[in-house]
Structure 1
Amino acid sequence: MNDFAAEQSAADEPRLSLTAQFAIMATIVLVLGMGSVGYWVGERIATDVTRNTAVATAFYVDSVIAPLTEDMSDLGVFGEGPKLALSEALAGALGGRIVSFKIWAPDGTVVYATDDALVGRKFPVKADLRQALDGQVNGGLDSLVDDENVAERQARKPLLEIYSPIRQPWSGTVIGAAESYEDATGLVRDIRAARTESWLVVGTATMAMLALLYTIVQRGGLTIKQQRAALRQKVAQLSSLLEQNEGLRRRLELASHRNATLAERSLRRLSADLHDGPGQLLAFALLRLDSATATIPPSEDMRSVRDALNEAMREVRNLSRGAALPELDRLDAEQVLRQVVQAHEARSGTNVALDVRPPLPALEQAERIALYRFVQEALNNATRHGGGVAQAVAAEVAAGELVVRVSDQGGGFDPAARTNGLGLAGLEERLVALGGRFELSSVIGKGTVLTMRLPVARQTEAAT
């Protein structure tokens, strides 16, 4: 059993320690989680920086460019004066940043552009332009794939595209939209630096959490390992004790079997001694009494003596027959039951109903003797104390046990008030020694039921 426990504990031992398993899983979870956080932070930084730049440019357009476009709603195009003023304004504060600039009419016509080739041309209104014409500022790094972005593509640098509405100063009505392209080289560099810093912060926090959690789990793993070793030692000790107990149980069972066999041999010798000793002497006394009274009339005292001798002879013969068992070696459980029932019916002159539900298990000699003695004593009690009314014997296998019940419908008695007679006490001791159980149930006026239970599994092992 110790070898089995060792093999089982080795099989239960994980290939990776709890600390290693946690390190792997925590690394995966934290890397994924912190990666998502870092990506979200980086994107949020890029979005906020881009929006702030777009808002600053829109403010400049609203405060500087819009007053120069007062007549755009009437003319639709700009004359040389407004164009010159726009060029000077763009070259002023934003001259080093603006790469390209356009002013759109609400129908998608370019009314002003730093690229003169686009002026007067009409293009489909994109979603970003539509938002600006609706009064919203938007911007972002553009891929420059539209038809009007030929000049911007030639710049070969990252550009920030910004759309801002142009409003009339006195009414606030949107009369067009300004589209500007700023050099985003510095912006992209700043966004990349901000993202790098955010990733460094997230990575440092992740490593710190991993180190802290790893330390905690490593200590817990050491504690679990120590407890597992202690538990394995306890299991080994318990397994050893179980083996010792099992050995003692087997020895006790063998001793009980030997004692039962020796007891039956003693009863057989006692039966033979009763038959050959007191039985023969009583028979000789009856013969001498009959010879003495053959010549003289028997008196009342002599008849009383003869009756007493006959009664003593019957008692001795009953004791002799009850103490001696028939040969049970070649009988199975059902045959043992039939033989003890038939013997009781012949001896008591009463009837017994026998109900056997096969198959019954194979029994050893000690179990067969216990079965015979149990039914014999139970039927004797049913006849002696219950008047032999509705005697019945039932046998079956239930819940892994051989169950035999002996019942009657006599007067019954109060089990709590019963005395510890030798018969029932001996039956209980005999069954307990074999690993079985003895049960008694009785109701005054309704009869008595005696039950014996023997484990089937143990008997099957013994039989095989």
Structure 2
Amino acid sequence: MTQGAIPVPKRDLRQSDDRRRGLAALRGRGVDALRWFRALPLHLRFALVGGLVSLIGMSVIGAFVSSRIENGVVRNSAISAAIYMESFIAPLSQDLAEDQTLSPASIARLNAVLTQPPVADEILSVKIWKSGGVIAYANDKDLIGQRFEPTDDLTRAWQGDLLAGFDELDDDESEGERALGVPLLEVYNPIHSIGTGEIIAVAEFYQNATELERDLARARLTSWAVIACVSLATFFALFGIVRAGHRTIEAQRSELQTRMCQLSDVSQTNVELRQRIQHSAEQFATHNEQHLRRVGAELHDGPAQALAFAQMRIGAWKDRSDGPAEATQILGALGEALDDIRSLARGMVLPALEGGSVAETIQRAANAHSARTMTTVDLDGNDDDAADRRPELAHLICIYRFVQEGLANAWRHGGATDQRVAWTIEGDALTVTVSDAGPGFDPDANAASDRIGLHGLRERLQSVGGRFDVDSAPGRGTRITMHLELGHGAA
């Protein structure tokens, strides 16, 4: 143990581990319960949540209504009893306006009134309080003159409030009432002076509440039954709506899944067809290039050789004294035809592109154009990325032909002004742009013309899944851009 370290008892460590395991298990059960709840159908989830909410709402509303009914019934009963009792007690209690006790004559008259039916049947106990908690009159003579700590209800009654409620009979002065063994309604009624209207005493009397309690029980039962019926009817009505909605949703979901499966099958078929078409187009492009290579080779080895031989023989004939005068013109025409055939053959015959990279293919096309036209081409590309990407042959042919045709148009129509080739690779997306600063043209007008160069580029790109854009206007040069995905077949 290091110096200054505080040792931790092993028992505390075990308890801490147990708490952590307990919390982890609790969280696990909570997650499982939540997953189970989410897996239930919609109407069952509504039944659980709605049933709980309905039960809580029914309990709250039932308790509130029952409380309001009880308060209303008790207050009405207390007011009736207070008015009835005040007509007897108030006239006999006026001695208290000037004295702390009642005269013997007043006590005798109160006893006579309170012991005769029907008062004696309903009012089981009476106390008359003076200020300070002194009992001026009570059925139990032993309580007269005693002082008790005023209760909250008694204090409020001295302020003029009429209070009533079912008493728990837990006060010191309520021993006699507890012995009666029946439910009692306790009423505090202020007694006013007939002359001045001031409160001179407070009458506390206990009414037999057996019948009242039965009425309240029936009222509670009735209110709870009504609230329960309304809540259940509302719940089942909503449950029916949710269940019907759930069935509709499930039917629509099933139909949607069926349609999605059908759509997925159609989409998969379309993808396969598109791939087959694209593969066929790529094979066609490859075969077409091979055919062009053969045609170029035939032109170079056939007509070009024949024209060269004819040029040589006419040149020899021209040097003779008996040669025709128009031999010079014939030699010029043959030379131009030979140059055209050789240029056409070179354009048809592609260099060996298979296995090459994007950067190498673009550089070869630009170098071939520079050598043929004796012009300069600026190259701008992320060579590091392009050097690592080695697409399939159909893509390389498309890239080469795009750069070749774009630079040829820049030389032929743009005066070879600021010829530039730029390319970028982001992920599998290749973008190549060929631009010039020539006179430009109107792409809409060109689309309606008979020129096939740009149309051919667009169709070539579309055959391998690419896109082709033209940005040009009279007076601001031309920019053509190709977009091609290299993911398929790229190394």
Q: TM-score, normalised by structure 1?
A: 0.93
2:197 pairs with one of 160, 169, 172: 172
Partner of 2:54: 30
Structure 1 residue 381, shift from structure 2 partner: 0.7
- Equivalent pairs counted in the alignment come to 450
- 1:191 is the counterpart of 2:219: no
Structure 1 residue 398, shift from structure 2 partner: 5.0
- 1:82 is the counterpart of 2:106: yes
Partner of 2:31: none
- 1:280 is the counterpart of 2:300: no
Partner of 2:397: 369
Q: Distance in 1 between matches of 2:488 and 2:92?
A: 110
- 1:267 is the counterpart of 2:304: no
1:404 pairs with one of 432, 439, 442: 432
- 1:16 is the counterpart of 2:46: no
1:384 pairs with one of 395, 399, 412: 412
Q: Distance in 2 between matches of 1:298 and 1:446?
A: 53
Partner of 1:463: 490
Q: Which runs of structure 1 show a deviation greater than 6 angstroms over 4 or more consecutive aligned residues? A: none
Partner of 2:385: 359
Q: Distance in 2 between matches of 1:177 and 1:221?
A: 65
- 1:229 is the counterpart of 2:259: no
2:94 pairs with one of 56, 67, 70: 70
Structure 1 residue 298, shift from structure 2 partner: 6.5
Partner of 2:238: 213
Q: Deviations over 1:177-210 (max 9, x none)?
A: 0011222222222212211111111111122222
AA aligned to 2:70 is A
Contact 1:111 1:119 in 2 (8 A): yes
Contact 1:336 1:368 in 2 (8 A): yes
Q: Distance in 1 between matches of 2:135 and 2:481?
A: 110
- 1:429 is the counterpart of 2:429: no
Q: TM-score, normalised by structure 2?
A: 0.88
Three-state SS of the structure 1 residue aligned to 2:326 is: helix
Structure 1 residue 166, shift from structure 2 partner: 0.5
AA aligned to 1:266 is H
Q: Distance in 2 between matches of 1:31 and 1:340?
A: 82
| Of 254-263 and 127-136, the range deviating more from structure 2 | 127-136
AA aligned to 1:27 is G
Three-state SS of the structure 1 residue aligned to 2:124 is: strand
Q: Distance in 2 between matches of 1:26 and 1:264?
A: 73
Matches within 5 A, 1:116-195: 116-195=141-220
Contact 1:61 1:178 in 2 (8 A): no
AA aligned to 1:359 is D
Contact 1:388 1:410 in 2 (8 A): yes
Q: Distance in 2 between matches of 1:449 and 1:219?
A: 61
- 1:393 is the counterpart of 2:421: yes
Partner of 1:444: 474
CA 1:200/1:139 → structure 2, altered by over 3 Å: closer, same or farther? same
Contact 2:355 2:390 in 1 (8 A): no
Structure 1 residue 463, shift from structure 2 partner: 2.9
AA aligned to 2:385 is P
Which runs of no fewer than 5 residues in structure 2 stay unpaired? 1-34
Q: CA RMSD in A?
A: 1.9
Structure 1 residue 167, shift from structure 2 partner: 0.9
AA aligned to 2:109 is A
Contact 2:356 2:390 in 1 (8 A): no
Structure 1 residue 272, shift from structure 2 partner: 0.8
Structure 1 residue 53, shift from structure 2 partner: 1.7
Q: Distance in 2 between matches of 1:270 and 1:55?
A: 121
AA aligned to 2:245 is G
Matches within 5 A, 1:91-106: 91-92=115-116, 93-106=118-131
Structure 1 residue 151, shift from structure 2 partner: 1.6
Partner of 1:242: 267
Q: Distance in 2 between matches of 1:403 and 1:429?
A: 17
Structure 1 residue 162, shift from structure 2 partner: 0.8
Structure 1 residue 211, shift from structure 2 partner: 2.5
Structure 1 residue 144, shift from structure 2 partner: 1.7
Q: Distance in 2 between matches of 1:131 and 1:60?
A: 21
Partner of 2:28: none
Q: Distance in 2 between matches of 1:155 and 1:187?
A: 17
AA aligned to 1:344 is H
Contact 2:355 2:392 in 1 (8 A): no
Partner of 1:8: none
Q: Distance in 2 between matches of 1:188 and 1:14?
A: 47
Q: Distance in 2 between matches of 1:384 and 1:75?
A: 132
Partner of 2:344: 319
| Of 245-254 and 176-185, the range deviating more from structure 2 | 176-185
Q: Distance in 2 between matches of 1:300 and 1:16?
A: 104
| Percent identity between the two aligned chains | 39
Q: Deviations over 1:3-23 (max 9, x none)?
A: xxxxxxxx9x97322222222
AA aligned to 1:89 is V
- 1:54 is the counterpart of 2:87: no
Structure 1 residue 400, shift from structure 2 partner: 5.8
Three-state SS of the structure 2 residue aligned to 1:175 is: strand
Structure 1 residue 399, shift from structure 2 partner: 8.4
Which runs of no fewer than 5 residues in structure 1 stay unpaired? 1-10
Contact 2:428 2:487 in 1 (8 A): no
Q: Deviations over 1:22-53 (max 9, x none)?
A: 22222222221122111111111111111112
Q: Distance in 1 between matches of 2:376 and 2:477?
A: 16
Q: Distance in 2 between matches of 1:301 and 1:22?
A: 105
Three-state SS of the structure 2 residue aligned to 1:156 is: coil
Q: Distance in 1 between matches of 2:365 and 2:192?
A: 120
